[in-house]
Each structure stands twice: as structure tokens, then as C-alpha cells.
Structure 1
């Protein structure tokens, strides 16, 4: 395989696609918007799933599975307001059978097999979850319900990009029901903190917590919490969302419960989720012109060992040492691969695993054996060093932690360098046009102003930040209209 990449500086979009294809994360399927996640990419998703699933279960959540299809009548259930689901780009099932054309090896829709009630392939599951909760909830004794689902969803995207925006994606979606507003609010915020911890400590993705403005919140929610990050090209990416649904869905589906006092009240709810777009975030945030750079915590392989030999005798000597080293590392829980494939040169292997972003590469040949050393290559710094063969097994675990920290700190520094506090609209437009990034600016809170800024600059309000920075909470004047503003919000171009 040719492992050369388009440079970021030449064409960021092509660089991104090149990495995904050449590192064998995924490929196009032949159906627009639907991708094939290859074994290496899927193993990254499995590592994400394993870690986040553990965190969710430790916080009291249970896994469940709801059907893939939703009756159309329940999806658009609020005829008066029609505001609980605004994604019109749904995949609709209208027939349940095809028939073969006579004299042709082709198929056509069998009109006799038309469904009486059309079905929607789930874009999200609230419209099937809440009718179910109506059957399951009668009393406060049935609450809270803390469920999470791992599955897929379909949203018929018009503009697609591998992992970042696909018509089908893998995800987890949580759906909880509570007896009080306070309990549901606590749940939504707790999940936001779980996502933040998962993103920063496991994926090395620094994020900013915030609240979506009302014009961009999830349809059917009272509050949408989010975490946002900035990619290397200065565009923002929404990493995850957590929605406080209030009583909107329980009222729409008439989900009530008997309180301890004998009163009848509507249930309070939340929903939340992350998806395979996180793999795209890993690519865009950490990688370079040599390929992927994966944080050790998420990398399917943490250490790759490559032998360098000319004959079978040298190969046998190397094998003895490598298997001993590999066994010692695996006992520490380190994911190790020994690539002894004799049909690929060491140089080709170097390029292959650099492209795949393996954190540590160890090379061993006759020279290393004679000197009781190994050559060690760090993917994050792209530097080689030599280490004692006797000490290497005890040092790898510490080195992996250092690599994880370094990758995270580089991302933090990048976000800091791409964050600006501005009060002048001309400067605002210049920054958005030239560098992108997070712009902290005052906004008057109106939809009209938000849309005008977007039309003129392509920048949107990513969130109203939640943090302890008092400077952001000082009132001022809207950067566009000059009207009063309570605090600064975050603007950015986005994916």
C-alpha cells in the first residue's frame, strides 16, 4: 500500500479521508452516507464502548435494546406544535416485499405489499421509548428508570463525511425517567460530566462544557447540555450532548405516575448520547501528516514489535527475546503485537504502523541483541531512542502514560491558541475567515442576530459555556447588534 498522505496544509478534507482509508479505519460502501467500519476502526469503537459502558454501569445505568423501527404516527406526535422532532431526513419503510420482474433479472416494489402504517428507521429513540415507559411506569416505586442502549441510527444526511456525518452511525443513547425535576436535572448534568471525563481522560480530547442556545437545542428538550472541542483546522466539533427533557415527552405520551402523597404527576426525563463521530474527532484532533496518532488508552495495539533479520538463525534468536518481552508486557495488561510477517520489509512495517498510530514501536535485530538494547520509536513525538533490553518491560507502562499526557496537553495548547475573546465585529469576521477557532463574544440572545452572524460568517453559536471563569459572565454589548448581553458565548465554524 502507498502510505503517503495529502498534507493538512494542502487539503485538510482530503488529508482526513486519506488517513481513514490508508489506516484502514473505514471505507465507502457504495451507498452514499453509509460506510464500512473495518476491523481496526471497529476495535477502536469497541474500546470506547467498553470504557464508557463501564462508566455508565458504575453510575447505576443498565443496558437495554429497543426496536430499530418506529411507527410514523408516533414520531410526529405533537400535531399542534410539531416541535419534538425536527429532522425530516428520515428513512421510511413503505413496503415489506419485492417481486421479480417477468423476463428480467430485476426486482421492483410489490404494491400488494404496501404497509398499512409506514415505519421510520430510528433517527433517535424517544418516540418508541416513551410509549414503552407509559406501560412500565405507574408509581413512584417504578422510578427512576436508568437505561442505556448501544445500537445504530439512520439520519439521511445530504452532506456526508466518514465518521463525522454519516447517514448511518453507531452510538449509545441513554433514556431515563424520574420522579422530580431536580433528579432529572442532576442526571443530565451527571452524564455531561461522565462524557467530559471520558473525552478528556480516555480519548485525550479537551472539551468545553456548555448549554445550547434555545434555537439549537434538541427538539423536545428544555435544556441541551453539550461538550465541544476544536479540531486542527479551527472548526468546532460537538462531541456529545445530554438533554434535560423536562416533562415534554411524558406529556406528549401521557406518562404519569402516582406520587408518595397519592397525587398524579407527569414523569421527568433525560436523553443523551455519543456516536462513532468520536473516531473522526480522534483523527482530526491528534493526527499529523504521517497518519494517525492514537492515545494509548484507546489504541487497539499499544506496542508493536518488529524484528529485523537476514536469515533464519537471526530470526530464531530474535523470537526467543521477543516472546519473553511480549509475555512480560501482556502480564501488565499492555496490548502488544509482534509482526513477524516475512513478506513485508521492516521499512514497510514502519510506515504501516505509523499510519495506524500505534503509540510505541520496538525494533529488534542482531545489532540490538549484541548490545542488549532495543530501538524504541514514539509515535507522538516521532522520535527514536535506545533502551536497555533488561529494563524495557518495566518502563513501557510509565511511557504509555507519558504519551497519553503529552497528546492531551498538545490538544489543550492547540485549543488555547485557537481561542479568542473579541468585542469588535470586524476582528470577529477576520478571525473566523483566517484562523477559525473558538471566539468568546457577547450575543444579545436573539435568533435574528444569531442567524445574521451565521449568514455573514458561517459561524454558529456553539454553546453558552459553563465554567468558573467570571470574566465570561460579565455583561457587555452584543458584538453584532450592540444590544445588552448577559455573558459571552462561543462562536465557531463547525462540522
Structure 2
């Protein structure tokens, strides 16, 4: 199964598309630009949800749910926000269908036109801030720390499963604060939550930073981001956290009574990650044999495959395996015993290799006689024989080792693909021949940023948080530059 994949070296994009389909993660739907997330893919997303949801709740956030539809007038209240999303909006104009008089089928009922069009949410700032006006009166109501798990629609013309679809799943946090300082601290706190999740759950190293003005979220005063590097040398924005200032509070007239009894506008943040993380997970770790999943996010952490001739041998193997399955599950390890008699062991080995199951156990008649299990790890494809009495402790340690190993491998790849350049010619050469993140001086102007983007397709991915003073000259204009920024081609 996995052996039929196009190799990454041959065609990285084709490899990715084939892997998503063959590993049973998702498929294109009957609706152009939308995807069906299949059970195995959704099981990974559920693990991501569970991990993030706990982290949000541990930092004081609560979940709520807001409408899918947003009155068009709401979007026009914050000028830069509507400008940023106007070209991607799906619009509901009517509320009823009817049969055509000529019997040709169902048509829109022209008499059922909405008084005001509704926008299918591309993001929820406007509907949420209209709601917060009713929820917030006093400093006692702050901070308000709300998250929602939802779907959003952004009408993309060029789509790719998980990475860019017209509809996608995500979480979006929306918080309100009494002071600018508190809101900034919240935006940075969530940035660190996202980075923690990416590195410790996804085993994906990221660089934390801020976006340039032209790359900020529409309506934000500051956008914090985590940027990851894929195996093909392209960057992927894995999460963003926005300091919105008082822009939305002013647009929706959300004021509160301060401790001193004065009226002031609240300070806001919003932040989100989406099913795009699934694409990041696939492209960070997987290989030419299929998925490589970090144990913390793998739907099945351990699979056990019996190798037998006849039902008598299978019964003996099953009796040996049943207590092991119970013991592993009691330790919180997800395990599958695949005793299907419709597929041969070789087919099963290929299937679980393709699906990225971290640990595979094989047990046959010889293993029963010698009191051992054959153990294969997905990340390195190494096999070893382990005594039955040591198997549970071995698996526990192996899952930890795999989680760490794939992170270390990805981190080494990232480090090997961060290049420092001083001239524009050198920049272009490195971009084409090596790829990855390129650290270079930039004069801080949108004009230079656009010139680089137009000429090379590279964008400023972030101004790293720990950038520090490193004065130099812009590689394009020669103008003074206070620090280096990170460029890359990106998804």
C-alpha cells in the first residue's frame, strides 16, 4: 500500500496529496473546495482538539458557541476587517426554494429575499463583539475569556486538502480585558500555548514571532504567530494570536465602568488554529512509506498483528495477547489487536505503516514458544525481539522515545535550513537552491516587502520574538535595519 506513493524527492506536492487520500485521512467532496474528513483523519483532529482544549481551560478559558450567520452590516462596522475578508465571503440572500412552474426542478423563490444578507462566518469577531456589548458592563465582568470550536467558510479558489479549503474546522478564542497590558499579555500567552502544543504534542518545532503590518490579521494592531518548516523547505503558518486593541470595542460600542467609575472601551484579543495543523503534521514528519505520527496524536499507538496457520494457532495467540491489550489500555495506551482473517499479515504491516501507527507488534507460533514479541517502530522502521515479561515497560518507553526522536529530527531539519544572508543576490540563490528560512535585513517598508514578494515569491514569515539588536543594512535598498527578519516561501 504505502510503497505505491510518489516519493517526496520526485514530487512533494503529489506525495502529499496521495498520502492524505491513501492513509484514509480525507477526500474531496461533492462541494467544490470542501473536504470530507474521514474517521481516521478526524480521530487525529479529535486528539488535537482534546489537547488544545485542556490547555485553554487550564489557562482560564471557557467554551461557548456563536451563530454561523453574520448580518452583513456587522462586517462593515470595522473598516479594515471587512476589507480583509470581503473577497472570501459566502453570502446568503434568500431563505426559501420552490418548484419551478415549468417542472424543470427546484429554484430560488424570488419572493423569499432576506431583508439583510447574511454572511457565512469567515471569522467571528463581529458577531461576538455585538454579543459582548450585552455581556460587559463593569470591570467586574472582565476579563472575559471565551473560546469556540466551529467551522468557518472562506471562499478559496485554489484548494488543497487540509491546507486550504473553502470550509474548515478550527477554534477561535475571543477575549476582553480592562487594560491594554492585560490584552497584550493574553495574546502572548496564547502564542506560547500554541508553541507548546506544536512542540510537545505535534513534535513540530516552531519559531515564535510577530507579523509585519501588511501580514497582520485584518483589524489587528499586532499579530503573533508560530511558523513551522516543512520538509520541502517551505514555511507554514501554524497558529496566530492577535492583539486587537480597542478597535472592535469601539466599532460595537463595548464599554465598561472602570474601578474609578469612568467609562472606557475594553481591550481585545482573538486567536485561532485550524485543521491546517493536520497538513503541518503530515508534511513535518511523514516519509515515502506513509504517515509518521507522534504517539501523543496517533489514534492507534500500538497495533498487534498475529501470524498464524489455522484457527488453533490464532486462538493460542489471542489468549497470549488479551491480557497484554488490557494492561496497555489500563495505562492509557490505545491499542488495536488486528485478528482479521480477510487480510494477510504483510497487507496489515503495509496498512499500519502507511497510517503511521507508532509501534507494531507481531506475534506468531515461534514467538509463543520463545516468550517474545517482535516490535517494530514506525519512525525508524527498526525491529527487535522483546521478552514478554518486559513488553509493557518497553512499549511505554518506546512511545516516549519515538515522540522525542521525531521532534529532534524535525528540529535538526529546521536548524539546517535557517540561512543568514546579507545581499539580495545571495538571498535569491539560497531561496532557489536550498529553501527554508532565510534571515536577512529589511528596511521596514511595505514597498520593499512587496518588491521581494513579487520578484521571489518569498514573504516575511515573522519578526522573531527574540530578535534582539542586530543593526545592519537592508539587503535590497541598503537602508538602515535594526534587526533581521525571517523570509521563506510558504503554504
| TM-score (norm: length of structure 1) | 0.97
Contact 2:305 2:360 in 1 (8 A): yes
CA distance in 2, matches of 1:449, 1:434: 23
Secondary structure of the residue that 1:177 maps to in structure 2? strand
Cα shift at 1:72? 0.5
Partner in structure 2 of residue 288 of structure 1 = 287
How far off is 1:30 after superposition?
2.4
Is the partner of 1:251 in helix, strand or coil? helix
Counterpart contact for 2:303–2:360, Cα < 8 Å: yes
Hey, what's the Cα distance between the residues in 2 that align with 1:293 and 1:426? 37
Q: Would you say the 8 A contact 2:96–2:109 is kept in 1?
A: yes
| SS of equivalent to 1:219 | coil
Q: Is contact 1:149–1:173 with CA below 8 Å preserved after alignment?
A: yes
What is residue 88 of structure 2 aligned with on the other side? 89
Q: What corresponds to 1:29 in structure 2?
A: 29
Shift of 1:295: 0.1
CA distance in structure 1 between the aligned counterparts of 2:245 and 2:140, rounded to whole angstroms: 20
Question: Would the aligned equivalents of 1:329 and 1:393 in 2 still touch at CA under 8 Å?
Answer: yes
Q: Aligned residue for 1:485?
A: 481
Q: 1:184-223 maps to which residues of 2 (within 5 A)?
A: 184-223=183-222
Partner of 2:471 in structure 1? Answer: 475
Conserved? CA contact 2:2–2:353, under 8 Å: no
- Structure 2 match to 1:425: 424
Report matched runs for 1:200-349 at 5 Å.
Answer: 200-349=199-348
2:58 equivalent in structure 1? 58
Q: Is the 8 A contact 1:436 1:492 kept in 2?
A: yes
| 8 Å CA contact retained: 1:3, 1:352 | no
CA distance in 1, matches of 2:135, 2:218: 24
SS in 1 for 2:427: helix
In the alignment, is residue 71 of structure 1 matched against residue 71 of structure 2?
Answer: yes
State how far apart, in whole Å, the 2-side matches of 1:110 and 1:2 are: 50
What are structure 2's unaligned runs of at least 5 residues? none
Aligned counterpart, 2:409: 410
The correspondence of residues 9-24 of structure 1 with structure 2, limited to 5 A, is 9-24=9-24
- Tell me the distance in 2 between the aligned counterparts of 1:229 and 1:440: 15
SS in 2 for 1:74: helix
Deviation at 1:82, TM superposition (A): 4.2
Any idea what the Cα deviations from partners look like across 1:63-102, whole Å, max 9, x if unmatched? 0000001000101214xx5455512211100111111223
Task: Please say which of residues 107-116 and 348-357 is displaced more in the overlay.
Answer: 107-116
* Cα separation, 2, equivalents of 1:62 and 1:2: 41
* Structure 2 Cα separation of the partners of residues 94 and 433 of structure 1: 47
CA deviation string 1:445-491 (max 9, x = no partner): 00000000011110000110012x64xx3110001111110100000
Displacement of 1:181 after TM fit?
A: 0.6
Mapped to 2, the partners of 1:104 and 1:294 lie a distance apart of 53
Residues 100-139 of structure 1 mapped to structure 2, 5 A cutoff: 100-104=99-103, 106-139=105-138
Residues 352-376 of structure 1: per-residue CA shift (max 9 Å, x gap): 0001000000000001111111111
Is there any run of 5+ residues in structure 1 with no aligned partner, and where? Answer: none
The equivalent of 1:380 in structure 2 is 379
Give the deviation of 1:104 after TM superposition.
3.5
Task: List structure 1 segments (4+ residues) > 6 angstroms apart after TM superposition.
Answer: none
Displacement, 1:105? 5.2
In 2, Cα distance between the equivalents of 1:387 and 1:444? 59
Q: CA RMSD in A?
A: 1.1
Indicate conservation of the 8 Å contact 1:85/1:220, yes or no: no
SS at match of 1:390: helix
Matched with 1:465 is 464
CA distance in 2, matches of 1:463, 1:104: 57
Distance in 1 between residues matched to 2:429 and 2:106, nearest whole Å: 55
1:352 partnered with 2:348: no
Query: 1:290, 1:354 within 8 Å by CA — same for their partners in 2?
Result: yes
